[in-house]
Amino acid sequence: MSIQEKCRILDHQQIAPQHFKLTLVSKYISAHGLPGQFINVKVSDSYDPLLRRPLSLHRIMPEEESFELLYEVVGKGTELLSKRTVGSEIDVLGPLGSGFSLEQKEIAVLVGGGMGVAPLLALAEALKDPVASSQGPGAKAIYVLLGARNRARVLAEKEFRSVTEQVLIATDDGSYGKKGFVSDILIDVLENTLEPRTQNLAVIYACGPDLMLKAVTDIAFQKKIPAQVSMEQRMACGIGTCLGCVIGTKNGYKKVCDDGPVFNSEELIWQD
Ligand SMILES: Cc1cc2nc3c(=O)[nH]c(=O)nc-3n(C[C@H](O)[C@H](O)[C@H](O)COP(=O)(O)OP(=O)(O)OC[C@H]3O[C@@H](n4cnc5c(N)ncnc54)[C@H](O)[C@@H]3O)c2cc1C
Ligand code: FES
């Protein structure tokens, strides 16, 4: 169940030229939020902009009764959000959507591209410590593959490294990690590090731009590995009533905000 509440800003830091980390206090969302779920944020106290903005739960910290968001300023809404100050309150609706379901697999491979890394930290922490997060089975080995345009845009590396030693990075321009796409490192890890252990033992969780998700889905299909993919779509209500975020799937039309944002990769239809 989701609730609407005013959450106090505990911390708000600029971590890169256009990127911010925001910590909000909420006993309810930190207790009930799951990795892959999101909240819908009213970025200003006025009616401009009218629509809330969806942001993923980046870290879920029930003991501190708080949660973190990681966001990039891309337009008016996120620009307004970036001006909100510590101690003030933000109107939030959440937790929303269906998150990742933790699968009983020994090896979890998390693939994040650009801002798609945002929900993967909460997932990595839940996989590492399933008891503390009370979210089902964990994984013996966690691989985190991060893709970004350049070094400045590699996000949350330190936080992922505190969860697992297996953090691999690809940048489009080669300024950090391997030059190329994060899907290239996925193939490399599957073929050169994990095979033949992948089949039946591994699961892929991915979030990022559509092109990356399509590539990950194709690789998962070829390697016969299950994959869960978090989709992004422009949203209005965020609660399944306006039909503004509908996508076609092999099982009919689905609402990204309500049926998703996380879907099994086999269900998805990609446009060429
Ligand atoms: C389920 C979900 C979870 C998300 N989680 C995060 C997150 O953790 N961190 C984060 O930085 N962003 C996240 N986003 C994207 C975020 O919601 C948008 O960047 C934000 O709403 C943009 O608002 P704005 O007013 O600043 O920009 P706008 O002025 O509305 O748009 C600026 C530009 O961003 C593009 N854009 C806006 N919304 C989206 C979207 N949903 N998908 C693709 N492109 C978009 C527009 O096409 C336009 O080019 C998420 C989106 C969804 C659907
Ligand atoms: S945003 Fe309204 S139904 Fe999904």
pLDDT at residue 103, rounded to an integer:
81
Q: How many domains does the chain have?
A: 3
Cα 50 to Cα 43, 55, 74: the distances in Å are: 9, 16, 17
In a domain, 130, yes or no: yes
pLDDT at residue 106, rounded to an integer:
87
**237 alpha carbon, closest ligand:** 2
Taking residues 200-225, report their average pLDDT: 94
Count, residues in the chain:
272
Query: Which atom belonging to ligand 2 lies closest to the Cα atom of 242?
Result: 2
- For the entire predicted model, the pTM comes to 0.95
Does ligand 2 have an atom closer than 6 angstroms to the CB of 233?
no
Answer yes or no: do 82 and 131 share one domain: no
Distance CA(142)–CA(23), nearest Å, equals 25
Cα angle vertex 152, ends 147, 158, to 5°? 70
Does ligand 1 have an atom closer than 6 angstroms to the CB of 50?
no
Does ligand 2 have an atom closer than 6 angstroms to the CB of 235?
yes
Domain span at 111: 107-230
pLDDT in tens, 134-177: 666 777 899 999 999 999 999 999 999 999 999 999 999 999 99
**50 alpha carbon, closest ligand:** 1
pLDDT at residue 272, rounded to an integer:
72
Distance CA(20)–CA(62), nearest Å, equals 21
Does ligand 2 have an atom closer than 6 angstroms to the CB of 240?
yes
pLDDT at residue 145, rounded to an integer:
98
pLDDT at residue 133, rounded to an integer:
63
Does ligand 1 have an atom closer than 6 angstroms to the CB of 75?
yes
Taking residues 51-63, report their average pLDDT: 96
In a domain, 236, yes or no: yes
Of 61, 96, 131, the residue that ends a domain is 96
In a domain, 101, yes or no: no
Answer yes or no: do 218 and 139 share one domain: yes
Distance CA(209)–CA(258), nearest Å, equals 20
Which H or E element spans position 77? helix 76-82
Query: Which atom belonging to ligand 1 lies closest to the Cα atom of 49?
Result: 25
3-16 and 19-25: which strand pairing? antiparallel
Percentage of the chain lying above the pLDDT 90 cut: 82
Supply the DSSP symbol for 249.
E
